Chain A
């Protein structure tokens, strides 16, 4: 094979690899996104499947977070203001995880209606400001709307 042909062949292989990779990633993304999303209300009404991976989003209920004395077990309640779901998780939580924060949990519902999370993701908003300013805005009731926790769902605002 002449060097020129070798180069052209290498190019074709490279492009095929590139297209293949891109397709793989796209399909992968599609697959992950096709993970069903259920709100705590839908879970309460029995729409969510048992023992199947799906996502649930909501606000962490104030005062509901229980951390185990030892280990990384944590239990908390997620709310969409209408209904609540109990979640358990073992692992390191994102630093933005706190009461009142919008989060997304990926996991399965067990037969007792307990959501066993494999992953907990926190969504933050697009606002950046010093704590004093945030405090002042909150006092004045002018805090910009917080991030909707519904990653992968039509956005829901939790006012």
Chain B
């Protein structure tokens, strides 16, 4: 069993894995986005209260979920790096930060655009919005910290600690709508017993969620490959790879 896990610590194996699956995941993601947008923007009916403005949900909710999911991946990878000194874990954490920051930015921007016509304000300082903004600052802080050091190992360790400390913000974001009385409405789908969204709207929403997951996976795989090449540039297998032309 451990042999199997060990493979994921081997850079050439992970590199080939990413090279093999990356493009397929990319195409699948594209198909899901096209299908999800068609169902969400064209086929799904308007909402009984919010009319067509609710259609922002098909990008807002997936982006908001991904902003938290990517952070959790980053924090777990940072923990693995700190405890087991696995360099690949650091590559994963570092590669995740810009993607997570993008999703967070999208969640905030689309939420703001949605809030203006519905709530009557671009922004309110409620717990959900404030904690999501803090998440954006955590991502930016992580990226800035990595770039501030000359010594890559010191940078990796400092950034990993920041990522771990910041993970406390994730449950705060998730439960903010329950712990405090926010203007932001409570969760729609997390209630598994009875999602309060009509099936014609739920299907495109879930398709977009999956599409965003795959987009992250695709992007992460390319970034991991870049990161491995950089870290392993002296290795013989990298030399063979560069000469073979199938990089």
Contact = CB atoms under 8 A, between A and B. Distances in A.
Interface of A: 4, 7-8, 10-11, 14-15, 18, 21-22, 25-26, 28-29, 32-33, 92-97, 104, 119-135, 144, 147-148, 150-155
Given A125-B196, A127-B197, 11 more contacts: A14-B144, A25-B130, A29-B126, A94-B119, A95-B53, A124-B185, A128-B188, A129-B48, A129-B196, A131-B46, A134-B49
B121 A119 contact: yes
B235 interface: no
B181 A153 contact: yes
Contacts of A14: 144, 148
B117 A130 contact: no
A84 B68 CA distance: 42
A85 to B, nearest CB: 19
Given A8-B148, A18-B141, A128 B124 contact: no
A68 B16 CA distance: 69
Contact of B183 (A10, A104, A128, A132): A104
B118 A22 contact: no
Contacts of B193: none
B89 to A, nearest CB: 23
Interface in B188-235: 188, 196-198, 200-201
Nearest to B118: A96
B200 A130 contact: yes
B144 A127 contact: no
B21 interface: no
Contact of B120 (A28, A93, A131): A93
Contacts of A11: 144-145, 148-149
Nearest to A131: B48
A128 B148 CA distance: 46
Nearest to A91: B120
Contacts, number: 127
B124 A96 contact: no
A128 B57 contact: yes
Contacts of A15: 141, 145
A127 B196 contact: yes
A2 B49 CA distance: 61
B188 A22 contact: no
Contacts of A10: 148
Contacts of B196: 125-129, 144
18 contacts: A7-B150, A26-B130, A93-B120, A94-B119, A94-B120, A95-B117, A95-B118, A96-B50, A96-B118, A97-B120, A121-B120, A128-B188, A128-B197, A128-B201, A129-B198, A132-B45, A133-B48, A153-B181
For the complex of A and B, the 3 pairs showing the least CB-CB separation, nearest first, are A94-B120, A134-B48, A130-B45
Interface string B120-155: 110011110010011001001100110011100000
Contact of A124 (B49, B126, B187): B49
B11 to A, nearest CB: 29
Interface string B21-65: 000000000000000000000000111111101100100000000
Chain A CB count within 10 A is highest, among B48, B127, B140, for B48
Interface in B50-108: 50-51, 53-54, 57
Contacts of B12: none
B110 interface: no
Nearest to A120: B120
Given A96-B50, A126-B196, A25 B120 contact: no
A121 B125 CA distance: 13
